[in-house]
Amino acid sequence: MTTLISIPIMGILAILQSSIVSRLPLLHGTADLILLMIVAWALQKRVDTPWQWCIIGGLMFNIVSAVPFGIPLLGYALTTAIALLLRRRVWQVPVLAMILVTFLGTLISQSITLLALRVVGSSISIPQALNLVMLPSLLMNILFAVPAYSLASELADWLYPEEIKV
Amino acid sequence: MTFSRSLQSIVFILIALGIVGLALGGYLTPVSRILLDPVVTAQTWIATRYQAIQDFVSAPQDTIRLRQRNAELEAEISRLQTQVIELQQQLSVTNILSALVDFARANPENTYQAASVIGYDASPFVRYVLINLGSDQGLRRGMPVVTQAGLVGRVAAVTASAARVQLITDPASSVNVRLQPSGAQAVLTGQITGDVLLDMIPQEANVQTGELVLTSGLGGGYPPDLLIGQVSSTRSQAQALFQSATIQTVVDFSQLEIVLVITNFQPIDTEPLLPQEETP
């Protein structure tokens, strides 16, 4: 059920990413809604399907992007691994963990994408990519991190209701 | 007895006539003011109170009627505003389509299919757009995409009902171009900033600011003579093999709404013609 529901959610996020968020850049960087949802979902205490959401998110991103196939998934998988690692260690302050994982996840996933594009022959200047794309994207992702975490918490509470001990 | 009554009547009549005469002569005005003022004041007071009571009794019905009317008018305003926005959108689309039709008429050697841009690439590192036509409508990989202003890019991937277009501003894009009027050949490449750079201009070419940049048709990737933009600045170093230049594109890539796909152009795959490295 929780895996199946990720398909429409990630689909909607991919559509929003392509039709709205990509048209609202800061310099040349944009927020990554799918990454934010994957991180926020992986940091939820009772959630047991972070890898499924990561895979579906990565595949959805590839539908609306010309980035080489599998590259977004690789970045998201590493981000999910960091999120799960931090969830066990700093779960008492989830918002801090969310911001930290968003920061690291954005850097990792964008670095992997940049590397992959350079390997396939794109002439992207690394200083320009860092200044004009990665840092603005990082800022936008961190701005959206807390609202994304709140939404994911609401969703997790709905899908994983807390058990009441009688 | 009868005489005294007659006399009384005559006196009354005379008095009445006298009063009328005095009134007509204006002699009774101060007296009438003294008498009428309290009457008028009292009547005004009573009339005001009566009107207030009448308003109080009849007001609820009026208020309900006015609120209903107000709601009706607000709904009407909303409907008309929506209609105005729809008409403005239709006008905008009509203007774009009209310009595209003019462009297609001016270039009758090509056949076109108009498509709407439905999305931009989700990654900020690449410059692609998604359009709402696909292989079901006859689109194939490699078909050039233009607007009435000039070259946009080419179809990079196709599904049944949509296609992905690589813009000429994509860092992986390269277009063979020629400059007019100098006639110099060059290669146009995209940048991560969304700009385009003209490279590999021969050192001996005398390129001036303002020259037109057109597709050359070399390489078979694009048809010749599609307008791309104008040279905005040139850069030449004595020790370099080639000159470079920056271009002001004629297409505003951030405002793409409707594009034309040139469907009768068959891109030529030159890869088999390239020399192969011999394996030992």
Q: Do B193 and A28 touch (CB under 8 A)?
A: yes
Which CATH fold would you assign to the domain A2-158? Arp2/3 complex 21 kDa subunit ARPC3 (1.10.1760)
Instruction: Name which of A61, A64, A124 is nearest B125 (Cβ-Cβ).
Output: A124
ipTM for this model: 0.89
Cβ neighbours of B119 in A, within 8 Å: 15, 18-19, 22, 64
Q: Cα(A24)–Cα(B56) distance, rounded to whole angstroms? A: 57
Domain assignment present for B1: no
Domain ranges of chain A: 2-158
Which residue in chain A has the smallest CA separation from B194?
A28
Amino acid identity for residue B195 in this structure: D
Q: Do A66 and B189 touch (CB under 8 A)?
A: no
Report the number of distinct structural domains present in chain B.
2
Q: Do A72 and B125 touch (CB under 8 A)?
A: no
* pLDDT mean over A101-112: 95
pLDDT range class, residue B8, cuts 50, 70, 90: confident
Instruction: Name which of A66, A121, A122 is nearest B164 (Cβ-Cβ).
Output: A66
Cβ neighbours of A13 in B, within 8 Å: none
pLDDT range class, residue B189, cuts 50, 70, 90: very high
Condensed to tens digits (0 to 9), the pLDDT of residues B45-81 reads 888 888 888 777 777 677 788 888 999 999 999 999 9
Q: Do B123 and A66 touch (CB under 8 A)?
A: yes
Q: Are residues B216 and B164 part of one domain?
A: yes
Chain A contact present for B120, CB below 8 A = yes
- Which residue in A42, A12, A31, A17 sits closest to A143, CA to CA? A31
Cβ neighbours of B172 in A, within 8 Å: 117, 120-123
pLDDT range class, residue A101, cuts 50, 70, 90: very high
Which residue in chain A has the smallest CA separation from B167?
A66
Instruction: Give the residue from B31, B64, B79 where a domain finishes.
Output: B79
Q: Do B124 and A64 touch (CB under 8 A)?
A: no
Chain A contact present for B125, CB below 8 A = yes
Q: Cα(B132)–Cα(B59) distance, rounded to whole angstroms? A: 58
Condensed to tens digits (0 to 9), the pLDDT of residues A29-57 reads 999 999 999 999 999 888 889 999 999 99
Q: Which tokens sit at A48? A: 């047991």
Return the biggest CA–CA distance within chain B: 166
pLDDT value, residue B214: 92
Q: Cα(B177)–Cα(B198) distance, rounded to whole angstroms? A: 9
Domain assignment present for B105: no
Domain assignment present for B213: yes
Which residue in chain B has the smallest CA separation from A118?
B172
Domain assignment present for B99: no
Q: How many helices (H) and strands (E) does chain B have?
A: 2, 12
Q: Which tokens sit at A72? A: 């977004």
Domain assignment present for B174: yes
Taking one residue from A and the other from B, the number of pairs with CB-CB distance under 8 angstroms is 86
Cβ neighbours of B170 in A, within 8 Å: 122
Domain containing B70 equals 10-79
Chain B contact present for A132, CB below 8 A = yes
Q: Are residues B195 and B66 part of one domain?
A: no
Chain A contact present for B130, CB below 8 A = yes
Chain B contact present for A57, CB below 8 A = no
Q: Are residues B51 and B144 part of one domain?
A: no
Q: Which tokens sit at B274? A: 């390239």
Q: Which tokens sit at B113? A: 């299919």
Backbone angles phi, psi at B246, to 5 degrees: -100, 150
* pLDDT mean over A67-94: 88
According to DSSP, residue B105 is labeled H
Chain B contact present for A14, CB below 8 A = yes
**pTM as predicted:** 0.75
The dihedral of CA A136, A137, A140, A145: what is its sign?
negative
Task: For chain B, give the mean pLDDT.
Answer: 87
Q: Which tokens sit at A3? A: 């895996």
Q: Are residues B122 and B173 part of one domain?
A: yes
Domain assignment present for B48: yes
Q: What is the CATH number of the domain that holds B253?
A: 2.40.10.350
Chain A contact present for B239, CB below 8 A = no
Cα–Cα distances in angstroms (integers) from residue A1 to residues A5, A15, A150, A159, in the given order: 6, 22, 21, 9
Q: Give the number of other Cβ atoms within 10 Å of residue B97's Cβ.
A: 13
Q: Cα(B53)–Cα(B245) distance, rounded to whole angstroms? A: 86
Q: Do B121 and A22 touch (CB under 8 A)?
A: yes
